[in-house]
Amino acid sequence: MNVGHPSNLARLVALYGGQMDETGKIVKMPDMDSIRREIFSVSVSDAMTREAMDDLYYRHKLILEPHGAVGWVALDEYRRETKDRTPALCIETAHPAKFHSDVAKHAGVEPRVPESLKAIEDKDEHVMTINANYDELRIF
């Protein structure tokens, strides 16, 4: 990931043969026909996200964090619209404990904090700035 340009859109454009500059301008168009054919997109509101977190915990005792809930809603919408019943995975991007207050508020459960997260919670953060230069990065 280019942390200076963390947009998923830039990665999708590149995946389909296009190029987006750091300002978000597409300098080489991606294969739009393939994108339209291969990618399903849906808008997921905050209310839908919260509802998914509530519902999945209530029905299945599954704890979703907000990003995972968005993915779940999108998968559900895809299946509803396409009638596709192919087995699928919905992978979360973070541990529910990272979003402790959201999970506790919307799923009504306290997520267990894994030892690996506990171990870094109280550590001091150290930030160092270097120039955008490969040799300087290599030396660092």
- Specify the DSSP class assigned to residue 61: -
Domain extents for the chain? 1-39, 42-140
- The confidence score (pLDDT) of residue 60 equals 93
Residues of the chain with confidence (pLDDT) below 70:
1-7
- The confidence score (pLDDT) of residue 113 equals 86
- The confidence score (pLDDT) of residue 4 equals 57
pTM of the predicted model as reported, rounded to 2 decimal places: 0.70
- Mean pLDDT, the chain, integer: 89
Q: Torsions phi, psi of 60, nearest 5?
A: -130, 0
In one-letter notation, the amino acid at residue 130 is I
